Chains A and B, each alone.
Chain A
Amino acid sequence: MSETINCPSCAAELDKKINSTKHLICEYCFSSIFLEDGGVTNLGKMAELIDEPSILKLGLDFEYRDWNFVPIGRVRYDYGRGWWDEWFVMDTTGETKWVSVDEGHIAIEEKDTNPENASLYFDSISVGESTNLIIDDESLSFTVTEKKHCKCIAAEGELPFQIIPDEEFDYVDLLSKNGKSATVEMFNDGTKDIFLGTWVDPFDIKACY
């Protein structure tokens, strides 16, 4: 059920679609609003996302095979020679996932909570090396396709965690032989988040608007 929040900067009415939302970016004044314990904190201005052509658009309906979803938020990360978008999407049942989009390289992933995967060490793994991850109760071999450093440069919409502009971290992209994908985000405090999912053919994503 959606909830309306007033922007602390411009007072615009902002639609909050999911309860777990921690961060909202005002679509009018680009204020970065942190939501916690029923309170609203204005964190300042968020960089406006440059209007580049994208396969997904905020707030519109899309379909991947028989899965319908709506992008409700987006974070953009710069990795030096370019950037990619992480779209926070919600399906018709209210479940959320992440759709990673980098010039036609698309993966639909969700945060992994498997402790076996969490116990793995990714700091010293290199591009081309392989490691096993548990996905859908199956141990699959993944190969590191990319290992880089990135910086959060912009965001929009509704997001499940606090966005810190210019936050930097290392990440590892992995791919299995059958098209399963994994992303490991490694933060400066030693913690990491693992996201597991699948590679997606951009031609399988259809706009439904």
Chain B
Amino acid sequence: MKMAKKVKAIVCTQCGSSLDLFGGHNVDTIVCPACNTCLDGKDEYKAVAQFMTLMKKMPNLPLKIGMKGTLKEVEWTVIGYIRYREDGEKYYDFQLFSPTHGYAWLTRNEYNYIFSRDVKDMPDIIGNPLDKLYTGVKFTARDMQFNVIEKGYEEIDFVAGELTWQGKVGDGTGYVTGAKPPYLYTISEERNEMSFSFGEYIDTELVYKAFGINEAAPKAQTVQKGGSKSSSLMLGIPIILAFVVAIILIVASFVLSGKKIFSESYKCKELVEGKITKKFKVNGDNKLLLLDLKTNFSDAWGFFTLKIVKGETEYFTFNKEIAYYSGGYGEDRWSEGSRSEDVYIRLPEKGEYQIVIEGEGGYGISSKGFRNENLTVSIYNNVILSRYFIIAAILLGFILFILFFSYIKDNIEFDN
């Protein structure tokens, strides 16, 4: 007496389409490609859910459902597909089936492939591993020490074919991944259920060769000793450059904005009543200085004359008008003018200089009077003009554009 051959095709209980089955009897979910209905493999293929928002076609990826290939000396059939999203990144899991070795996953992340399978070997962690583990922490599992390289939460946004669990769009999984290159160990928690998987990086060319994919394998990312992935040349250099430029800009904005060598405040009435002369010292030749004039004007204007002299020599004389007015009722407010002015000067030689300040001004109806307002004069040595920052910002913008372009290019490649 021969047993009947097991079913290899079913009819979708929702739309009547014929579905070829490639997996074994432990498949939990089958997604009908015609109507996107999720059928329960454990309960006479009853419809579990229909993804009306998921009327997307299957992405055109090199691995297709039904393909067969030999990995780790075992023949596998691609039976299902899940796409996850996490922080804008996408992961592609292909569910594999072997009648002798059960079920496994082939994960495509950027251009890497990871072959993994569920294991029951638990890590040496007391308590919930997801609470205890963070990036950089080490743990032991399967007699190996893993370094946590990733901790996150991913959500399913596309499913197709057969799966060994009830994967639905929108389902989320918290996970921690540890690396001991080329091995990976992942702890996942979904619906209060913990699962463990053990995997390893597989050469992309090997995957293509195993499944008979007749196209050039994309260049794989490599795994460094510590477990982190090195960036591809396409993205790595712009990222490093952008990082360097950003650091330079931040440092320059703090360090190279000049050292304050003089700062004093005066009542404007002092300036009206007579010139104020103050000393300051410059400690290098041909230095660029910034003279910063700040007032607390409110409905007032001032006209200031400043001179920089050394001994009998008058190096600079300049006039600056500062005016600030505001008014309005309730939320309908207006203002015009400015309360400050900047002047750049370059002094040819080091030494002690004098700044001579005098001024006059007026005021509007609401002002407390020009004479009662303050003027603060500050001098900064060794300043760098803002045009250098503008050039650096343009460079940073260009690099960010390249990064954005690369991201878009990758997304197009993944989605097609």
Residues of B within 8 A of A105 (CB): 26, 102
Instruction: For the complex, give the distance between the alpha carbons of A83 and B119 in Å.
Output: 21
| Cβ–Cβ contact B101 & A202, under 8 A | yes
Residues in A whose Cβ lies below 8 Å from that of B101: 55, 104, 202-203
Say whether, besides A81-B41, A104-B102, A203-B72, A179 and B2 are in contact (CB < 8 Å): no
Is B42 within 8 A of A53, CB to CB? no
Q: Tell me which residues across on chain B come within 8 A of A201, comparing CB atoms.
A: 117, 119, 121, 198
Q: Mark A129-162, 1 if CB is under 8 A from B, else 0.
A: 0000000000000000000000001100000000
- C-alpha spacing A48/B1, complex, angstroms: 6
Contact of B100 among A45, A55, A179 (CB under 8 A): A55
Is A193 engaged at the interface, CB distance under 8 Å to the other chain?
no
A27 to B120, CA, bound (A): 36
Q: Does B346 contact A (CB under 8 A)?
A: no
| B99 CB within 8 Å of chain A | yes
- In Å, the complex CA distance between A191 and B151 comes to 48
Which listed residue, B2, B72, B103, touches A103 by the CB 8 Å rule?
Answer: B103
Question: Interface code A177-209, partner B: CB below 8 Å = 1, 0 otherwise?
Answer: 111000000000000000000010111000000
Chain B residues with a Cβ closer than 8 Å to the other chain, count: 24
Alpha-carbon distance A102/B99, docked complex (angstroms): 9
Confirm or deny: A90 has a beta carbon within 8 angstroms of a beta carbon on chain B.
Answer: no
| Contact, CB under 8 Å: B3 / A153 | yes
A116 at the interface (CB under 8 A from B): no
Chain A residues near B72: list those with CB within 8 A: 203
Set B1, B41, B99: member contacting A52, Cβ < 8 A: B99
Q: In the complex, what residue of chain B is closest to A53 when comparing beta carbons?
A: B99
Residue among A103, A154, A177, A199 making CB contact with B99, cutoff 8 Å: A103
8 contacts between A and B (CB under 8 A): A47-B1, A47-B3, A50-B2, A50-B3, A54-B100, A81-B41, A82-B26, A202-B102
From DSSP, what is the main secondary structure of chain A's interface residues? loop
User: CB-defined interface of B192-216 with A at 8 Å, one 1/0 digit per residue?
Assistant: 0000001000000000000000000
Q: Which residue of A lies closest to B23 (CB)?
A: A103
Task: List residues 88-115 of chain B with CB under 8 A from any CB of chain A.
Answer: 97-103
- B142 closest partner in A (C-beta): A201
Cβ proximity bits B107-133 to A, threshold 8 Å, 1 near / 0 not: 000000000010111100000000000
A175 close to chain B: CB less than 8 A? yes
Q: What 20 new A-B contacts, CB under 8 Å, besides A54-B100, A201-B121?
A: A48-B1, A49-B3, A50-B2, A55-B101, A81-B42, A82-B24, A83-B25, A102-B26, A103-B97, A103-B102, A104-B102, A104-B103, A104-B117, A177-B122, A179-B120, A179-B122, A201-B198, A202-B100, A202-B102, A203-B101
Q: Is B5 an interface residue (CB 8 A)?
A: yes
Query: Smallest CB–CB gap between A168 and chain B, Å?
Result: 17
Contact flags A89-123 to B (C-beta < 8 A → 1, else 0) = 00000000000001111000000000000000000
**Assembly CA distance A102 to B101 (angstroms):** 9
Interface size in chain A (residues, C-beta < 8 A): 26
- A50-74 to B contact mask, C-beta < 8 Å, 1/0: 1011110000000000000000000
Q: Within residues 18 to 59 of chain A, which ones have a CB less than 8 A from any CB in chain B?
A: 45, 47-50, 52-55
Interface residues of B in 1-32 (CB under 8 A from A): 1-3, 5-6, 24-26
Determine whether the beta carbon of B120 is less than 8 Å from that of A175. Answer: yes
Q: Which residue of A lies closest to B24 (CB)?
A: A103
Contact of B26 among A45, A103, A177, A199 (CB under 8 A): A103
Given the known interface contacts A50-B2, A104-B102, the answer about A179 and B121 at a Cβ–Cβ threshold of 8 Å is: yes
Closest Cβ of chain A: how far from B196's Cβ, in Å? 9
CB distance from A105 to the nearest CB of B (A): 6
Mask of A73-93 contacts with B, CB within 8 angstroms, 1/0? 000000001110000000000
Question: Closest chain B residue to A47 by CB distance?
Answer: B1
Task: Give the distance in Å from the alpha carbon of A178 to the alpha carbon of B122 in the complex.
Answer: 6
Bound together, the chains give a CA A50 to CA B5 distance in angstroms of 8
* Complex alpha-carbon distance, A179 and B24, angstroms: 23
Within the complex, the shortest CB–CB distance from A104 to chain B, in Å, comes to 2
Nearest residue (CB) in A for B194 is A177
B25: which A residues are within 8 A, CB to CB?
A: 81-83, 103
Chain A residues near B100 (CB-CB < 8 A): 53-55, 104, 202
**Given the interface contacts A45-B1, A154-B3, does A199 sit within 8 Å of B98 by beta carbon?**
no
CA distance A179 to B141 in the complex (A): 12
Contacts of B24 in A (CB 8 A): 82, 103
Cα-based distance from A178 to B141 in the complex (angstroms): 11
Q: Which residues of A contact B98 (CB under 8 A)?
A: 53, 104
Q: Chain B residue with minimal CB distance to A128?
A: B193
A81 to B27, CA, bound (A): 10
Chain B nearest CB, measured from A47 CB (Å): 5
Q: Residues of B contacting A175 with CB < 8 Å?
A: 120
Measured CA separation A52–B97 after assembly (Å): 14
Tell me the smallest distance from the CB of A154 to a CB of chain B, in Å. 7
Task: State the Cβ distance, A200 to closest chain B Cβ, in Å.
Answer: 9
Q: Please give me the residue from chain A that is nearest to B42 by CB atom.
A: A81
Tell me, rounded to whole Å, the shortest Cβ–Cβ distance linking B202 to chain A. 14
- Closest A residue to B26 using CB positions: A103
- Residues of B within 8 Å of A103, CB to CB, are 24-26, 97, 99, 102-103
* Complex: A202 Cα to B204 Cα, angstroms: 24
Hey, which chain B residues are within 8 Å of A177, CB to CB? 122
Q: For B6, what are the chain A residues with a Cβ–Cβ distance below 8 Å?
A: 82
Nearest CB in chain A: distance from B164 CB, A: 9
Report A-chain residues with C-beta under 8 Å of the C-beta of B103: 103-104
A54 CB contacts on chain B under 8 angstroms: 99-100
